[in-house]
Structure 1
């Protein structure tokens, strides 16, 4: 595994912290070592199915959509965002390993990990419409304001796709402090930024889609208290609510959290 950039290894207290609003336009790219680091402020704890191996999370029109993974267990789900109750669910073909999801109009796209396809679901019925080929691995997925679908594949590159058929249209390399940042996982597009879990860490990064530069790091260590970590997997699930509020969860987590990406504290 490649080494993580230093800002993902240092404790938050040892970093320069600046006030940056989520999705803000016109933010100047930070100088190396000066990327702001914040901690999320928990506003509410929400129920979450501890058997859900969360790979994608997105809130749309009052429904929380969740894509889950693992061979033979992968699903697309529509949830009540307040209670976590499953309103509807559909399984993927039993040999598929489900990954990230995003809503695109009246459909939902869902990636598979190494199966080479994405599934298009009817959003109203959660019935599959078709499968389309996708080159490389599928990790995270979101739709940006530029009418593109953005995909992560475990590398340091975000790939852009046409929302109609997921044809690839371009890509951008992601850097943090000038170094490539690999293992980008679950994605959430907000304005001209994309928020990405960094796999196997408790960190989320915010990326400028125009440049690929990380301009904010979220330190979510301790979000799930240690007493409930047994049996849980990594942080992986970002759904934008509004403004600077998000819902965060993880794979096999017994809870989700409505959070505010709170004001940083200068060191």
Structure 2
């Protein structure tokens, strides 16, 4: 399992917090009681009302994140992360609403994956890689840094730049993904992203972010876009109007994982870089649970060492070859790898 490697990779990214409780509109001594303090996926949530003054309670109804639940509820089809339990308590002549915040963690320890390097290819050492993706066999790349950000189509075998446009000087390029012949490219702090025609690189439109304030990584499952913003949240976007239609939160059995960066959709899972870590998480997109960890740290020693060399960033899946291509910011190589559960 290589648990030590798992903790080395994730320890500084885990922010654990205890379940907290607030009582909205609280006018009595009532409060919500949960069966356990720490909740995990699959646990049975048992709810009751603490009633120390023995008030006459006529009826109680519960909700979890706005959806009605019974006082006994199995957490088997729930997205991980922060949840709000509310209880509407009917006291006869008045009604009181109570609330309690809880967190739901994943119920498995992530598996550790090893990898084999299949091929090594040249990569532009000046490219501050932010997004990497194959589309119809062609490799596309988005790079960052102000006055240096680009959108490119690249021959992955030779490193030759086949098509290139530069972003405006005030835009810091971030992740990209391609769906239905359209490239979706994020910028970092400007609060906007761009949509291009994949064949001409003509800009089709600009879109604004919603609840997510920054742009980091983006991928798609063929129908929905998934966008990270540097927190533990991954937002689901409608590709037609780019509106946010919800989010998942990425958790292990220990706590949340922030700093999610570049992402790639690979065979039903989200693979995500953690910024400033040379590792990749394998995430269940239905729950947000981390199912696997890949430590790519040794790859950094295989590239040319220079002052501008930065962390691993860039994941691209080649569906025909069934391999993953990874690189980093200002790396002079792209590595084609195969991963295996250890």
1:132 aligns with 2:210: no
Name the CA shift for 1:127/1:38 in 2 (closer, same or farther; >3 Å): same
1:72-91 to 2 correspondences below 5 Å: 72-91=147-166
Q: Which TM-score applies when normalising by structure 2?
A: 0.67
Segments of 4+ moved more than 4 angstroms: 29-32
CA RMSD of aligned residues (A): 2.0
Counterpart-to-counterpart distance in 2, 1:244 and 1:251:
24
Deviation digits for residues 36-73 of structure 1, max 9, x if unmatched? 11222100001100000000000111210000011111
- How far apart are residue 259 of structure 1 and its match? 0.3
The structure whose Rg is larger is 2
Structure 1, unmatched stretches of 5+, are: 12-28
Q: 2:106 touches 2:252 (CA, 8 Å); kept in 1?
A: no
Equivalence for 2:309: 232
SS in 2 for 1:129: strand
SS in 1 for 2:240: coil
Q: 1:252 aligns with which of 330, 338, 341?
A: 330
Equivalence for 1:20: none
Q: Which has the higher strand share?
A: 2
1:202 aligns with 2:278: yes
Name the CA shift for 1:211/1:218 in 2 (closer, same or farther; >3 Å): same
Q: 2:113 touches 2:294 (CA, 8 Å); kept in 1?
A: yes
Counterpart-to-counterpart distance in 1, 2:172 and 2:304:
26
Counterpart-to-counterpart distance in 2, 1:191 and 1:169:
22
Counterpart-to-counterpart distance in 2, 1:124 and 1:227:
32
- How far apart are residue 8 of structure 1 and its match? 4.2
Equivalence for 2:113: 38
Counterpart-to-counterpart distance in 1, 2:309 and 2:166:
22
1:48 aligns with 2:123: yes
Q: 1:163 aligns with which of 199, 220, 239?
A: 239
Figure out how many residues of one structure are paired with residues of the other and give that number: 241
Query: In terms of mean alpha carbon deviation, does 151-160 or 163-172 score higher?
Result: 163-172
Name the CA shift for 1:205/1:227 in 2 (closer, same or farther; >3 Å): closer
